[in-house]
Chain A
Amino acid sequence: MTTFLGAVLAILGGVLAAVCGGVGSAIAVGRVGRAAAGVVTEDPSKFGKVLILQILPGTQGLYGFLIAFLLFNQIGLISGDIAALQAIEPLKGLMYLCACLPMAIGGFVSAIHQGNAAIAGVGIVAKKPEESGKAIIFAAMVETYAVLALLISILAVFGIK
């Protein structure tokens, strides 16, 4: 049992990254979708513009998935390498867990706030569709922090040898 503790901690880290990112994105994309549906009932031609806004906070889920995949690939979970999984020391597993935390927390929080910015952006599209580019930029400003979280998690996962 103890032989797998390291692997369990590492997998927990990957799972956290994927789940938190995914849940945050799901909440945010869902909220933007509701706002977007309201605009489309008034004017179906704005579908394309609000769709982009809806997709924007979806990237955090993708980033979380990415971290989980990279990590699982590195520790040999994807290839099913039992010996490699057993070889992970508990402390190293804990390091992997910590490496995933920036993406898990940063992804979850930034997704929700990016969603809120995107909802406000849907309002811009409703009233001034020609300014939809600016609405996209507002939402994208929040994404910076998801990208930074992704980056630090990637560097940490790659860095743990």
Chain B
Amino acid sequence: MAQTTDISFKPETFELIQKITKRYPDGKHKSALIPVLHIAQAEFGGWLSPQTMDLVAEVLRLKPIEVYEVASFYSMFNLQPVGKCLIEVCRTSSCWLCGAEDIINHLEQKLNIKVGETSSDGMFTLKAVECLGSCGTAPMMQVGADYHENLSIEKVDKLVDGFRQENKQSRYC
């Protein structure tokens, strides 16, 4: 049984979740799990803590294990805390051929962290990820829902400086 958690969704989020579950036939509300995990991740700090996953289980009337096993399968769900602004740079073939490693190395230097790490002020997490379907506009990075393409060092500098200035929070939804 799902444990009652001491966190809850905002009322408007709860309403949105109820709306999403109506996309599926009666009794098939488990289908809402992935969309709801995205929403939960956005609402609770950009990652899925066990507490957040338990809340999702409770709201969708699922066993916690059904939520954990799905959350741990998909690469967009962060099971550890991440920085406020998550920067994901593609490194697969076409992006590599077009200089993705230059982008990654530059970001490591600029943010003073290695791939997979979070900056000490908690602002940035840097990830190297697999193909994001932006091969014709390589190299690229994704920040929240935004695709930043045809990157150059100058463009990256401008973007990152901008993120810092606006205290950007990366979000998918």
Q: Do A and B come from one complex?
A: no
B-side residues, CB < 8 A to A, are none
A-side residues, CB < 8 A to B, are none
